[in-house]
């Protein structure tokens, strides 16, 4: 994958939307994730900075804009720097 792209499941795991990478992949394949408004069912989809991700988790729905791709799964404070919340319109 290009240096300016990252797998969707990996990014969701780094950003702490899922506890494990396999759970992140399952979120995607089960249809709970949209990228730029389009439903995504491919966990290997390339994600770039500026993309808008919608995650419909059982407890809440999050709409975020990707600010950084990340290099590891770090503490929550580090994960929070990977995205910004988009206010509902």
Among 86, 69, 87, which residue's Cα sits nearest to residue 78?
A: 69
Digitized pLDDT (tens) for each residue of the chain, 89 residues in all:
678 899 999 999 999 999 999 999 999 999 999 999 999 999 999 999 999 999 997 778 999 999 999 999 999 999 999 999 997 65
Structural domains in the chain, sorted by start: 6-85 (3.10.290.10)
Note the pTM of the prediction, 2 decimals.
0.91
Report the chain's terminal Cα–Cα distance, integer Å.
Answer: 33
């Amino acid at each position: 994958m290009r240096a300016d792209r990252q797998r969707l499941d990996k990014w969701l795991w780094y950003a702490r939307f899922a506890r494990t990478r396999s759970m992140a992949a399952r979120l995607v394949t089960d249809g709970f994730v949209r990228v730029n408004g389009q439903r995504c069912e491919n966990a290997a989809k390339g994600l770039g900075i500026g993309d808008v991700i919608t995650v419909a988790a059982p407890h809440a729905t999050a709409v975020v804009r990707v600010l950084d791709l990340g290099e590891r799964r770090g503490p929550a404070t580090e994960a929070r720097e990977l995205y910004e919340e988009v206010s509902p319109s």
